[in-house]
Amino acid sequence: MNPRYDVAIIGAGPGGTTTASYLAQAGARVLLLDKAEFPRDKTCGDALSPNALRILGDLGLLAELKNFGFRLNGVRLVAPDGSDLVAAIPQKPGLADHLYIAPRFQLDNLLLQHAIASGAEFKPAFRVTDVQVEKRQVSIVGKNRNSASQFSARVAVIAVGASISLLERVGLTSTPPKFALAARAYYDDLPRLDDLLEIRFDGVPLPGYGWIFPTSATSANVGAGFMKKSPNLPSTARAVLDQFLSHHPIKEKLSTGQRAGPIKSYPLRMDFATAQTFGERIVLVGEAAGLVNPFTGEGIDYAMESGQIAAGVLTRQLESGDFSLSTLRIYDKKLRARFHSLFVWTMRMRNLYMNEWLLTPLIRAANRERTVEKTILEVLLAYRNAIQALAPNTIFHVLRNWA
C-alpha cells in the first residue's frame, strides 16, 4: 500500500513551514506536525535579516509581515568598554537594506497559515516520538494529546529546532552538541528608541552578547546569550540576562519600561559544521541541522533557506522515487556548498574576537576605518565569509587600535 503522504514534516517553526510551503506548491502531499497548538510563542530575539526577508518575499509574505513587524535601518554595536559603532545596513544586490523585528508568536503563525494555504495538512498538539524507517516508507509515531497515533509518508523532514531527543532516537546525533544559552523578555513603555538593532558586548560574559531589539518605537525584545566556556561563568541564561539588566547603561535605558510577560530562555545549536543533515529517508532542516550563526545566534533565515533547499531536492526525488542515501546526500552537498565554510570561519572569528581584549579595538577600528566597518557588518550579515575578519589587513587595524 502506498503511504498516505509524500512528505511528513516534524516541527512547524520557520524551517518546517518553509519546507512545507515549497513542497506543497510543487504538488507534494505534505503532512506538517507540531507538538504545540498554534499560534505559539518561540523564545527568540525576533530579528529577521535581509536574507530572511528575501525568502519571505519569495513566499509573498512581506506585505503581511509589515502589519506586525518593526523595521530597523541600522545596527549599533557596543564594545565591552561602552564605546559604540552605529552603521547603516550595507547594500547588497537583491537584498533589503533594512531588517525587521517580528515577534515569533505572529511570524510563525503567518508562515504556518501560508503552508496550509499552499496545501499542507497541519496537525497540532502531535508530539513525534519516533520515525521508523521501512523499505518503502517512514512511519511517524507519536502522541496526539494522550492518544498514540501514527502516519506514513515516503520521506520525513525533521525540523524540531534545538530539541535533540528525536534526533537521538533516530540516531542522527552522534555526540551531544554544545549549546549556547539565551534568554529574553519583552519590554513596553520605553523612552523613544532608535531604529537600530542594538548588540551589546558590555555587561555580559564573553563569548556572548546582550541585545535590545525594538519591536516598536517604545517597546523591545531584550535579551542575552552566551557560550558557557568556563565553570566560573553563570550556569543559566536567566542569570546572564539578570546581569545584563542590572548593568548600569541598560538599567537606565529600561528604567521607565515595564516588563511585558515572563523571562524565557532556550538553548541554541550552532554545530552545523559537524552535524549530520540526513539519514535513510530523512532530512534535517534548520536548527535540527545545527544551522544557527555561531557569532550572531541568528537561525531564522538559515532555517528558511535550508527548507527551501530541502524542498527543491525532495521535489526531484519524489518525481524519481529514488530516496537512496546517495541521492539524499545531494541535500547535504548543497547545504555544505552554501554554509560550511561560513560556519567554520564564523566559529573561528568568534573564538578570536569575542573577548574583552579584541572586541573594543575591533569596534574602535570599525569606527575609524570604513573598510573595517564594512567588513564587520557584511560578516555579521553573512554577506562575506568571516575569513575576511581574520585577514591581515583587518587584524592590522585592530592591533593599531589596541591601546
Ligand X SMILES: Cc1cc2nc3c(=O)[nH]c(=O)nc-3n(C[C@H](O)[C@H](O)[C@H](O)COP(=O)(O)OP(=O)(O)OC[C@H]3O[C@@H](n4cnc5c(N)ncnc54)[C@H](O)[C@@H]3O)c2cc1C
Cell of 118: 499552499
Find the binder of ligand X among 266, 344, 348, 355 (CB under 6 A): 266
Under rule CB under 6 A, residue 47 binds ligand X: yes
Name the β-bridge partners of 143.
127, 148
Binding map of ligand X across residues 106-145, x = CB under 6 A, - = no contact: ---------------------xx-----------------
Q: Please, which residue, 198 or 287, has the CB nearer to ligand X?
A: 287
Residue count (the chain): 403
Count CA within 13 A, CB hemisphere, residue 388.
17
Under rule CB under 6 A, residue 184 binds ligand X: yes
Under rule CB under 6 A, residue 59 binds ligand X: no
Q: From its phi and psi, is residue 344 left (phi > 0), alpha (psi between -120 and 50) or beta?
A: alpha
For residues 252-287, one letter each, b for 16 or more C-beta atoms within 10 angstroms of the residue's C-beta and e for the rest, the string is ebbeebeeeeebbbbbbbbbbbebbbbbbbbbbbbb
Q: Please, which residue, 14 or 80, has the CB nearer to ligand X?
A: 14
Binding map of ligand X across residues 221-240, x = CB under 6 A, - = no contact: --x-x---------------
Distance (Å, whole) CA 73 – CA 98 = 5
Find the binder of ligand X among 15, 69, 177, 205 (CB under 6 A): 15
Under rule CB under 6 A, residue 79 binds ligand X: no
- Looking at 13-21, 238-246, 324-332, 393-401, which segment touches ligand X (CB under 6 A)? 13-21
Under rule CB under 6 A, residue 300 binds ligand X: yes
Taking CB under 6 A as the criterion, which residues in 22-41 touch ligand X?
A: 33-36
- Looking at 117-125, 153-161, 276-284, 354-362, which segment touches ligand X (CB under 6 A)? 153-161
Q: Which of 303, 23, 8 is nearest to 157 (CA)?
A: 8
Count CA within 13 A, CB hemisphere, residue 150.
12
Q: Please, which residue, 179 or 372, has the CB nearer to ligand X?
A: 179
Q: Which of 316, 346, 356, 352 is nearest to 83 (CA)?
A: 356
Q: Please, which residue, 210 or 361, has the CB nearer to ligand X?
A: 210
Distance (Å, whole) CA 149 – CA 122 = 15
| DSSP H or E segment with residue 371 | helix 370-380
Alpha carbon 37 to its chain centroid, in Å, reads 21
| DSSP H or E segment with residue 340 | helix 325-353
Under rule CB under 6 A, residue 202 binds ligand X: no
Q: Please, which residue, 281 or 364, has the CB nearer to ligand X?
A: 281
Q: Please, which residue, 6 or 46, has the CB nearer to ligand X?
A: 46
Q: Please, which residue, 90 or 361, has the CB nearer to ligand X?
A: 90
Distance (Å, whole) CA 363 – CA 40 = 37
Within 172-330, strands assigned E span 179-188, 196-200, 208-216, 219-226, 258-269, 278-279, 282-284
Query: Can the peptide bond before residue 14 be classed as cis, meaning omega within 30 degrees of 0?
Result: no
Distance (Å, whole) CA 203 – CA 82 = 9
Q: Please, which residue, 12 or 96, has the CB nearer to ligand X?
A: 12
- Shortest distance, position 276 Cβ to ligand X, whole Å: 15
Under rule CB under 6 A, residue 381 binds ligand X: no
- Looking at 20-28, 116-124, 285-293, 337-345, which segment touches ligand X (CB under 6 A)? 285-293
Q: Please, which residue, 346 or 360, has the CB nearer to ligand X?
A: 346
- Could you list the residues that contact ligand X (CB under 6 A)? 10-16, 33-36, 42-47, 127-128, 159-161, 163, 166, 182, 184, 223, 225, 266, 268, 286-288, 292, 297-301, 303
